[in-house]
Structure 1
């Protein structure tokens, strides 16, 4: 049931004090709010070494929000979390914020022990589909996507020669049954009532949960405290415009903040923070500035998405970063193209070259 106003205020105050705690070691946990444990699981990524997961106390068991990647170190850390801080009580429900591997990776393993799986229908469909789509070599659609983004011949040849990342490499099989979450749904978990708010941009139909007492927001990767979540376009939908969805979501969250909603935000990465409305406004401004830099570069000459890396990122992009950087560059180009601010044409090499539209 929803907390009274005094109880909600006390929860907010207590949560604020807990922000001073050091982040937990992987496999350990700290109580970030009453009945809510904050834990971190390891990831094999240099720039993103851990993911946050949250355990909500249900008395005889736990609701776990996100699950980490299905790899040896992640499985060991989750086992330590279950046996230690979660006191051997079972995970009875798993809530997935979105379908990306670091969030959905071990969901199938927990479901096999009897946990109910809750996710948006899109997240479940994407996760289940991608685990079944194993490739030993990049498919033609993926090669064409990168060619049209502007990778040169040597970069394309290196891409073609390598076995691509397969979703199933780090995601356990997704179970057949699940419970769908949709915008406006109410959910009881951890002694609180939560409202489902669906975000877009980083992943389609990304679930966020806002406690009805105003104290907490489970944000996944929809909004992060110090970086923008990756807003990317991929070969599965090469002309998508996820940036519009992301900016629209940020505008909704900013409006909630301006209306007085100031929950403690529990993100999928980095530290919990306050000021969801302010942070959403900062993210909008950051992407607006990137779009302005793109247009300034295109005022000099037409360019491909890869040719716009310098304008977008203002730093060198390492080889290991190229995939995500390319996806986000295409997202920004698609945003400008769909909005009529740029046109595009194919180069002799098969890359889309973007050019500023002449003012009417």
Structure 2
């Protein structure tokens, strides 16, 4: 099970110590998920910033308050981004320029962030349009997706024009302690988590969050991508290389214990979604949009529909590429999926703990 060792949340513009030399702070987000957790690591001669928040609302003023009141007279000496998403890099360029310090990020995240942070609606090409139509979103979905393409520029200060690459196994020495980079995939290209063995602390970004599941999406820039395969492989590897009792510092919700429990839950969560989609495609040929109620029981508003479709397609691509779903194109240009896996009835019986689910012994 999960336990939460900190009953109090840090106030806006304040720090809360969670381990030796490790401080937790929160910044606001203009969405249903209304906050992001950021972290400061104290070094002998300065501070390392882990993720930065979006360039929106009072976030710059809150950072200035932290700079003025909580740095103990020492400067910021580096910014580290777990991944490229704007709530994690929106002010990275501003902090790096203000303090003239390096920007640490994996290469895949940096290059992806550069592309999306500079994109405008006119960059929405025919491949993106075709992807939305293939999903079953129609012209309304195409128009909505085109409009959102330039959205990152409004919430992101320009990214630094250079970076220092971090990758699997990179070690950052901070205040005499080694923080090892552990890379996860699926939510983003090369998501960097930071693990300190001597403190038994994992800064997990969006790779492991306690109360919500990270979005695993396929979008028009890689419509045949299989991020769910990469995501599940990452979670399995984290079970092997990270200790069960680590203190996990996530990007959202609150710090927690119970890493392996959460990793197993996330794996099973997606396995449940996969088998539910297969079952839903037994007696019909359905589009991604038609299959959304299988994965999402709540009403989806305009803010969430794009992410929901992307998540559904990620599961469908996974099943299609494994040969468990068949895919065809209908008269409207939509992909339609049908279950073709003859092992599905047996697997459904096993999941329902049927008495007749025993396979014969092979000799």
Q: TM-score, normalised by structure 1?
A: 0.89
Out of 12, 26, 30, the residue aligned to residue 12 of structure 2 is: 26
1:206 lines up with 2:191 in the alignment: yes
Q: Which position in structure 2 is the counterpart of 1:116?
A: 102
Structure 2 stretches lacking a partner, 5+ long: 344-363
Q: Assess if the C-alpha contact under 8 Å between 1:19 and 1:32 holds in 2.
A: no
For residues 61 and 259 of structure 2, the distance between their equivalents in structure 1, rounded to whole angstroms, comes to: 33
How many angstroms does 1:319 deviate by?
2.2
1:44 lines up with 2:30 in the alignment: yes
Q: Which position in structure 2 is the counterpart of 1:339?
A: 322
Q: Which position in structure 2 is the counterpart of 1:327?
A: 310
For residues 157 and 118 of structure 1, the distance between their equivalents in structure 2, rounded to whole angstroms, comes to: 35
Question: Secondary structure in 2 aligned to 1:307?
Answer: coil
1:42-89 CA distance string (max 9 Å, x none): 11012x101010000113321000000012322222222222223453
Q: Which position in structure 1 is the counterpart of 2:350?
A: none
Q: Assess if the C-alpha contact under 8 Å between 1:63 and 1:190 holds in 2.
A: no
1:282 lines up with 2:265 in the alignment: yes
1:305 lines up with 2:284 in the alignment: no
How many angstroms does 1:227 deviate by?
1.3
How many angstroms does 1:190 deviate by?
4.2
Q: Which position in structure 2 is the counterpart of 1:12?
A: none
Out of 138, 152, 155, the residue aligned to residue 170 of structure 1 is: 155
- 186-195 or 286-295: which moved more? 186-195
Q: Assess if the C-alpha contact under 8 Å between 2:46 and 2:77 holds in 1.
A: yes
For residues 53 and 166 of structure 2, the distance between their equivalents in structure 1, rounded to whole angstroms, comes to: 20
Question: Residues 213 and 307 (structure 1 numbering): CA distance in 2 closer, same or farther, change over 3 Å?
Answer: same
- 208-217 or 30-39: which moved more? 208-217
Aligned residues: CA RMSD? 2.1
Out of 188, 213, 220, the residue aligned to residue 228 of structure 1 is: 213
Q: Which position in structure 1 is the counterpart of 2:229?
A: 244
Question: Secondary structure in 1 aligned to 2:48?
Answer: strand
Moved over 6 A (4+): none
Question: Secondary structure in 2 aligned to 1:271?
Answer: coil
Question: Secondary structure in 2 aligned to 1:45?
Answer: coil
1:161-200 aligned within 5 A: 162=147, 164-200=149-185
How many angstroms does 1:158 deviate by?
5.0
How many angstroms does 1:129 deviate by?
2.2
Structure 1 stretches lacking a partner, 5+ long: 1-15
Question: Residues 88 and 355 (structure 1 numbering): CA distance in 2 closer, same or farther, change over 3 Å?
Answer: farther
Out of 77, 85, 93, the residue aligned to residue 100 of structure 1 is: 85
Q: Which position in structure 1 is the counterpart of 2:48?
A: 63
Question: Residues 141 and 74 (structure 1 numbering): CA distance in 2 closer, same or farther, change over 3 Å?
Answer: farther
Q: Which position in structure 2 is the counterpart of 1:4?
A: none
How many angstroms does 1:194 deviate by?
1.2
Q: Assess if the C-alpha contact under 8 Å between 1:202 and 1:246 holds in 2.
A: yes
For residues 145 and 178 of structure 2, the distance between their equivalents in structure 1, rounded to whole angstroms, comes to: 49
How many angstroms does 1:323 deviate by?
1.1
Q: TM-score, normalised by structure 2?
A: 0.88
Question: Residues 17 and 237 (structure 1 numbering): CA distance in 2 closer, same or farther, change over 3 Å?
Answer: closer
Total equivalences in the alignment: 341
For residues 73 and 312 of structure 1, the distance between their equivalents in structure 2, rounded to whole angstroms, comes to: 35
How many angstroms does 1:136 deviate by?
5.0
Q: Which position in structure 1 is the counterpart of 2:246?
A: 263
Question: Secondary structure in 1 aligned to 2:282?
Answer: helix
Question: Secondary structure in 2 aligned to 1:310?
Answer: helix
Question: Residues 177 and 160 (structure 1 numbering): CA distance in 2 closer, same or farther, change over 3 Å?
Answer: closer
Q: Assess if the C-alpha contact under 8 Å between 2:4 and 2:256 holds in 1.
A: no
Question: Residues 50 and 275 (structure 1 numbering): CA distance in 2 closer, same or farther, change over 3 Å?
Answer: same
1:144 lines up with 2:127 in the alignment: no
Q: Assess if the C-alpha contact under 8 Å between 1:105 and 1:172 holds in 2.
A: yes
